[in-house]
């Protein structure tokens, strides 16, 4: 029997007598239940026609929804973080014009908004991490460390500037 690992998609070949039993995928090491012949036929019928089976040009279906969700969360996190910094700077400018300082409550709100942006960004990064290959992970990790360091420096400088 031939079936695809539900965790990683690797095509596995296993004896029919193991149908309904648990097996470990050699690629992702996840434990999977070997489908029965009936289940495998149903799965084959539900699969879309693979590229090139009908002699057509390969179709590019674009990027995965998970990848797009990760990018969206990273962008949303960066925007929320930037809003926190912008509000902090605007409050500081307004306070300086009126001869005072930013209230502690307003400063806490700005810090909370920046933390929320950072958490959104990190969550999006976690989603992206699971969708990428090894080479892309190394590149993304370097970019993320540089961007995170820059954002941390910006946040700290605006917080110290406003105190």
List pLDDT tens digits, range 12-63. 887 877 777 888 888 888 888 877 765 655 555 555 555 445 555 545 455 6
What pLDDT sits at residue 76?
A: 92
Q: What is the mean pLDDT of residues 88-95?
A: 82
Share of the chain above pLDDT 70, in %: 79
* Bigger pLDDT: 9 vs 61: 9
Q: What is the model's pLDDT at position 52?
A: 46
When mean pLDDT is compared across 9-18, 51-60, 123-132, 154-163, the lowest value belongs to 51-60
Reported in sequence order, the residue ranges of 14-144 that DSSP labels E, i.e. its strands, are 22-24, 31-33
Give residue 128's pLDDT: 79
Does the pLDDT value for residue 113 go beyond 50?
yes
| 58 contacts 51 by C-beta, under 8 angstroms | yes
Whole-angstrom Cα distance, residue 29 to residue 16?
21
């Amino acid at each position: 029997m031939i079936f695809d690992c539900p965790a990683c998609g690797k095509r596995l070949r296993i004896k029919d007598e193991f149908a309904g039993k648990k097996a470990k995928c050699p690629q992702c090491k996840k434990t999977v239940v070997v489908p029965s012949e009936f289940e495998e036929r149903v799965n084959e019928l539900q699969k879309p026609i693979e590229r090139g089976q009908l002699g057509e040009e390969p179709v590019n279906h674009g990027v995965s929804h998970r990848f797009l969700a990760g990018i969206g969360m990273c962008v949303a996190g960066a925007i929320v973080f930037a809003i926190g910094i912008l509000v902090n700077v605007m409050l500081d400018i307004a306070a300086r014009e009126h001869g005072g300082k930013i209230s502690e409550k307003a400063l806490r709100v700005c810090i909370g908004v920046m933390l929320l942006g950072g958490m959104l960004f990190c969550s999006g990064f976690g989603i992206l991490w699971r969708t990428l290959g090894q080479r892309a992970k190394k590149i993304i990790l370097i970019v993320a460390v540089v961007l995170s360091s820059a954002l941390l420096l910006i946040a700290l400088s605006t917080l110290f500037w406003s105190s």
